[in-house]
Amino acid sequence: MKYTIAVIPGDGIGPAVTTQAKKALDAVAEVYDHIFLYKEAQMGACAIDKTGTPLPQETIDICRKADAILFGAIGESKYDNDPSLKIRPEQGLLQLRQELDLFCNVRPIKSYPKLLKNSPLKKDIISGTDIVIYRELTGGIYFGKKEVSKDGLSAYDVCSYTVEEISRITHLAFKAAQDRKKKVTLVDKANVLATSRLWRKTVAEIAKEYKDVTLDFMFIDNAAMQIVLNPKKFDVILTENLFGDVISDVACVIGGSIGILASSSIGEKNALFEPIHGSYPQATGKDIANPLASILSAATMLEYLGLHDEADAIQRAVEKSLDLGITTPDLKGKNQYSASTAKVGDFIADYI
């Protein structure tokens, strides 16, 4: 079969890790007799440098037409620390999420036996953890009106949600729970926020349609703590955009490394796959970035395209690289021999 894949390498270590993911996909193509047609597109700081905008129209067009989107990372520190800059790389990603209505961000968090030692958490706390976070991705304070006043003396951001926005991701979260441990935890701040109360009411209503699934509620402050104290208590976490951003990064420590976690952002018509780690500018160009999250994003993409055996092949190759310790420095103890970004990518492609 032939698939068109929009590839957005992005900023920082994005290009380096995406290159490895393509190697894995090429290996899959060869073994399983597919054609992956890559369409490269620009987004982020690199797009600002070249075109003046973080998301050129051409990128949107390529993404719309593709069967799936493989994305690297976004962001560059020069934009973070200069609040006067009106254009920022991240706007590209946010706008793409909105343009393609990628409302449902799915982040699986698992403890890999081989990486237990890499986690700051004790082994008995994390081993056996299996959580999936459903984060709403196109609403909330990310997309509400926002403004710094003309005199520069005040600013505001509006967080808003509609029942419709809440409902569509809630159904997906409950369906996911039905195939898992049948538990959904809604994370919110209903003791303070009106939007959280709307979430609580809407989700409680929808829960009645899923009699086999238990629903419980947790405030974000407590949830961010509980996910570190008792990660095994969670199954599906459902939450709004900003809380999802924070809790999924906290949850990363369970996996032992943010360098191996992939996420999917799903809409009605399009889907984007990316590592959870960001652009990590400090590591750019050093051939030390961990490509596993990007490679696993490619595997998740194959699942989405219905190519389950193919996805498994990548997954197995990644596990093999972990078993053999063919990994980048971030997964190593001090003074242990480590492989470069490209070496890890080559090994995985060869193994497939």
Q: List interacting residues with a second copy (CB under 8 A).
A: 75, 79-81, 83-84, 88, 90, 94, 120-122, 125, 141-142, 144, 146-148, 152-164, 189-195, 197-198, 200-201, 204, 217, 220-222, 224-225, 228-229, 242, 245-250, 252-253, 258, 278
Residues 76, 279 contacting (CB under 8 angstroms): yes
Whole-angstrom distance, CA of residue 147 vs CA of residue 153: 11
Is the CB of 329 or the CB of 345 nearer to a second copy?
329
Whole-angstrom distance, CA of residue 51 vs CA of residue 319: 40
Is the CB of 44 or the CB of 345 nearer to ligand IPM?
44
Tokens encoding 212: 């086999």
CB 191 to ligand IPM: min, Å: 5
Residues 68, 301 contacting (CB under 8 angstroms): yes
26 contacts ligand IPM (rule: CB under 6 A): no
Q: Which partner, a second copy, ligand IPM, none, binds residue 172 by CB below 5 to 8 Å per kind?
A: none
90 contacts ligand IPM (rule: CB under 6 A): yes
56, amino acid identity? P
- Mark whether 332 is an active-site residue: no
Q: Which partner, ligand IPM, a second copy, none, binds residue 228 by CB below 5 to 8 Å per kind?
A: a second copy
Calculate Rg over the CA atoms of the chain: 20
Tokens encoding 188: 């919110």
Element containing residue 27 per DSSP (H, E): helix 14-32
Residues 237, 134 contacting (CB under 8 angstroms): yes
Residues listed for the chain: 352
Is the CB of 192 or the CB of 229 nearer to ligand IPM?
192
Q: Which partner, a second copy, ligand IPM, none, binds residue 122 by CB below 5 to 8 Å per kind?
A: a second copy
CB 119 to a second copy: min, Å: 8
Task: Choose which of 81, 84, 191, 335 interacts with ligand IPM (CB under 6 A).
Answer: 191
- Mark whether 189 is an active-site residue: yes
Q: Could you give phi then psi for residue 100, rounded to 5 degrees? A: -95, 5
Neighbour order of strands in the sheet with 130-136: 35-40, 2-10, 68-73, 271-275, 262-266, 104-110, 130-136, 236-239, 183-188, 214-219
Tokens encoding 182: 């049948």
- Mark whether 245 is an active-site residue: yes
| Residue among 249, 287, 320, 346 flagged as catalytic | 249
Is the CB of 202 or the CB of 263 nearer to ligand IPM?
263
Q: Which partner, ligand IPM, a second copy, none, binds residue 147 by CB below 5 to 8 Å per kind?
A: a second copy
Q: Which partner, ligand IPM, a second copy, none, binds residue 220 by CB below 5 to 8 Å per kind?
A: a second copy
192 contacts ligand IPM (rule: CB under 6 A): yes
Please report, as residue ranges, which positions from 317 to 346 form the binding site for ligand IPM (by CB under 6 A).
none
DSSP 54-82: SS-HHHHHHHHHSSEEEEEE---HHHHS-
Task: Choose which of 24, 93, 186, 223 interacts with ligand IPM (CB under 6 A).
Answer: 93
Q: How many CA atoms lie within 13 A of 349 on its CB side?
A: 18
Residue among 66, 11, 48 at smallest CA distance from 275: 11
206 to 235: interface string for ligand IPM, x by CB under 6 A: ---------------x--------------
Burial of 78 (0-12, 13-18, 19+ CB in 10 A): exposed
**Contact residues for ligand IPM, defined by CB under 6 A:** 74-75, 90, 93-94, 191-192, 221, 245
Q: Which residues are catalytic?
A: 142, 189, 221, 245, 249
